[in-house]
Amino acid sequence: MKRWGLDPKEKTIFLMVDVEENVVKSSRNIGMLRKLTQRSLNLFDVLNSNKMVLLLFRRWSF
């Protein structure tokens, strides 16, 4: 998160197309981080966060 200029103590939302298993596992220990998809996004989370990161790509597996 520091690489992207994000403070782990701030409320941060990662809005992703798909939440992959490795992202879920690696972000469990960051308490102020929420991982949302377009289906789980709601107005309260947006207004309650300090930062929002939009990840608008999908990894394709063949």
Summarize pLDDT for 3-37 with one digit per residue, the tens: 778 888 889 888 888 777 887 788 888 888 888 88
Q: What is the pTM of this model?
A: 0.67
Confidence of residue 61 (pLDDT cuts 50, 70, 90): low
Average pLDDT over residues 35-49: 88
Residue 49 — very low, low, confident or very high, per pLDDT cuts 50/70/90? very high
pLDDT at 44: 93
CB 18 within 8 A of CB 24: no
